[in-house]
Chain A
Amino acid sequence: MIAEFNRKANVLKYILFSCLSFLISITATLSIADDTSVEKKDGEDFFLNDSSLDDSVFSDEDLFIEENIEKEDSWLSFFRYSGLLSHKTSYSYLHKGVDITGSKSKLNLKLSVSPSDSFWKLKFNWVGFYDSAYHIQGRSSFTKDTLDTYETDSEFKELYLDVDFTNWLNLRVGRQFFSWGETQISQISDVGNPRNFRELGLQDLDSIRQSVSASKLTFFGNNWEYNLIAIHEMRQHELSTDGSEFDPYITIRSNQVIIDNEIDLADSLSNTEFLTRLFFSGHLGDISLYAANVYEDLPILDLTSVDINTGVVHFTPVYERTNVYGLFGNVVSSSFLFKYDLARKTGMPVIRSSDNIFNQINSNPFNVQSFETKSIDQWMLGVEYSGINETSVVFEYSGQYIEDHHDDLADEESSHKVSLYVSHDMLHDTLLPTFWWSYDFTERTNLFKIESSYAYTDEIKLILGISGFLVGDKDSFYHPYRNNDRLYFALEYGF
């Protein structure tokens, strides 16, 4: 078994190395071809001294365009629709049991209705998927929760009505996104939209945010905006289920520790969450100041009962209401964009250490406090550089500090992580290799994703990628997930 494991580890390393080599070689080949082939043949002077203009290079494409414009005008005035049909197959080289980890077919339909020059707009954005990997592997191998969550699902990502009362007042009612904050990695300022953590941060960025039903009133001028938001739908982070490979409680669950079903928050008036933001924009950059009274979207484990006879401990995931104040924005300087997210969160639940909880159980099992609330400061400082031809480089450093920290808490007083994202457009934007890497100093773990997408036509796109964890040691939170690597291939058809 160990030999098999080592073999697979070597295969993964080989694949990873091959992908990197592939990307580097493409870039290098194109760069070398750019710089040498013609230089040897013609030389610089030939070009610079030749002022003639060769008309034969131009082709007549006018008729082709005319046909397209006619087609466009007949549809665009009232309804706009688009969609995406995709299939993604994922394979896990290091996985111990299941190799085909995903075979997901997904349909995304978007429709907007807006009569020209009207004061209102209706938008639908629906996504549904079916993952046949569970059927291929045998459905009996998986828990009901896992099948319910991962095998098939559908939802309205967006379903809202936009109303412009005047040219400075807008109301948006329905399921929507707010997408606050500058960071793409951590959830610091983006407290309105919960996250999808079903793959612990390895999922696509465009599917990580979750929408909520809310009413958003926006007052705005030429260079400012003020938002008042009431969230009516109590929706929290989507976590993996019991029995799935990304189950966040995988190390806690045992015969002695039971994680009960969480207590859902009702979509009631008293639970309504409130957010407000003031945004300014100027030549030097943008800035947003905000405040929110919301539920922390990550549940905290509340010890609900201890069976003295059997020693079985029951925890229930619960949600705590918090206050958040902060600012985020950016400063532009030439090809650099410096960005920041700063937040102070009060009433944040912090879990106590397992030693502390078991000491409490031993001394008085009927009065155990498994967590306490603290004020937490969070920040992100980042820089984006776009001065390299067709290339974007983004670096972020983020961290958090728990105030009034003491040794009985499970989390460390401060934690830090860094991330790097690089993308490079090639072949007239048809080939896009991207590289993302993040290192969590507290958990001593690397997360990575290397992906390359190729637009075969305007409608058809091919995607090849690899993602996973490189875990430092057994104490890391990510250690149980160290084999959940992914090698994936996707085919997308847009319409």
Chain B
Amino acid sequence: MKKSQKISLVALFKIVLLTMLYQAPLHAEELSGYDIIYNAEERYNGDSRENNSTMVMINARGEKRIRKMKQYRKDFGENLKDEKTMTFFTSPSDINNTAYLNFDWDEENKDDDSWLFLPALKKVKRLASADKSDAFLGSDFTYTDIGSSKRHFWNYTVINESDMVDGHDCWVVEGLPREEIKGKVIRETGYQKVNIWVRKDIFMKVKGKFWIKKGKRIKYFKVSEAAKIGDVWVAVTQQMVTTKAKRVEHQTVMKMSNIKYNVPLDDSFFTTQQMKRGL
């Protein structure tokens, strides 16, 4: 194919894409709550990613604890809908060299496959599907928050068509457990209700409010820094605050750095052998 033909095809593709983007707000007006959440969760996030993460946990007295990790993610399976994630914990010293491998399947009722390498025991351990309302590393983020959201658990309704967050127009979507599986949803996620703010221009969840059944707590979520890296919008800094009776009990700030998308990661990297080898 000649170079001029290639360029014209690219130009045509760009025109089609731009047309679609310009039309998006018109369609967005008609989007249902489910559609908004679907688009937010299924928006393009690269075929693979490599990043460092620093997590700062702050208790009610303002005392801080810090967790550092290096994370790798790769999409696989048909249509690249399944995800493999490898996390190596690097700090503090008591969790240094701990590795967590997770396969997140796109299929709705298929549990994740997970393994944990415990350096103290020198052992790779298969994990059962843990209580998804458990805290991730003692933070305010639960496994539900950081993993797949299980959209089929919730009935989503748009409760506010326009709310400004840091100068960006957002939908406010309310999620209530589906009535027929209400008990299961609350048991597995810990949440009685969720409100999610989604930016209209980039379909990113930028704020959230979560009603926790246990202890009648409320958690607040916020993306305090978003950035576009290549073609991908990413929540660089996220905060989660747990409150009780309007008093902050505990909070977590999670910040990603050295973010690289579409890096070549071999499938052999996402194996139990790699967990034992470490970084």
Contacts and interface: CB of A to CB of B under 8 A. Distances in A.
15 contacts: A33-B215, A35-B215, A38-B245, A54-B220, A55-B222, A58-B251, A59-B253, A62-B225, A72-B54, A206-B121, A335-B131, A387-B131, A425-B134, A429-B135, A495-B93
Interface stretch (A17-25, A278-286, A362-370, A414-422): A278-286
A156 interface: no
Contacts of A170: 273, 277
Interface in B196-231: 197, 207, 209, 211, 214-218, 220, 222, 224-225
B253 A65 contact: yes
Interface stretch (B5-13, B18-26, B64-72): B64-72
Contact of A389 (B214, B224, B257): B214
Contact of A428 (B57, B120, B123, B130): B57
- The size bracket of the interface on B is 35 or more
A225 B272 contact: yes
Contact of A42 (B65, B216, B239, B267): B216
B209 A51 contact: yes
B56 A61 contact: yes
Contacts of A60: 224
Ordered nearest first, which 6 A-B pairs have the shortest CB separation? A429-B138, A494-B93, A34-B215, A177-B122, A206-B120, A337-B128
Contacts of B193: 48
Nearest to B137: A429
Interface stretch (A80-88, A242-250, A467-475): A80-88
B54 A69 contact: yes
A68 B66 contact: yes
Interface in A454-495: 455, 457-459, 461, 494-495
B138 A336 contact: no
Contact of A84 (B93, B197, B209): B93
A413 to B, nearest CB: 32
Interface in A20-71: 33-35, 37-39, 41-42, 44, 47-48, 51, 53-55, 57-62, 64-65, 68-69
Interface stretch (A130-138, A215-223, A257-265, A266-274): A215-223
Contacts of A309: none
Nearest to A432: B138
Given A48-B193, A221-B268, A225-B273, A390 B131 contact: yes
Contact of B54 (A38, A68, A220, A286): A68
A72 B70 CA distance: 11
Given A39-B216, A65-B253, A218-B273, A385 B128 contact: yes
A363 B105 CA distance: 71
A152 interface: no
B66 A332 contact: no
A213 interface: no
B257 A220 contact: no
Contacts of A286: 126
B117 to A, nearest CB: 10
A283 B56 contact: no
A386 interface: yes
Nearest to B225: A62
Interface residues of A, number: 84
Contact of A72 (B52, B207, B224, B251): B52
B248 interface: yes
B255 interface: yes
B98 to A, nearest CB: 12
Contacts of A58: 220, 222, 224, 239, 241, 251
Nearest to A177: B122
Interface in B79-132: 90-94, 96-97, 105, 110-111, 113, 120-123, 126-131
A186 B205 CA distance: 49
B250 interface: yes
Given A57-B243, A335-B130, 6 more contacts: A34-B215, A51-B159, A53-B207, A58-B251, A330-B126, A335-B129
B277 A162 contact: yes
Interface in A306-358: 330, 332-337
A112 B279 CA distance: 9
Given A57-B220, A225-B272, A428-B139, A72 B245 contact: no
B271 interface: yes
Given A334-B128, A386-B128, A72 B68 contact: yes
A384 interface: yes
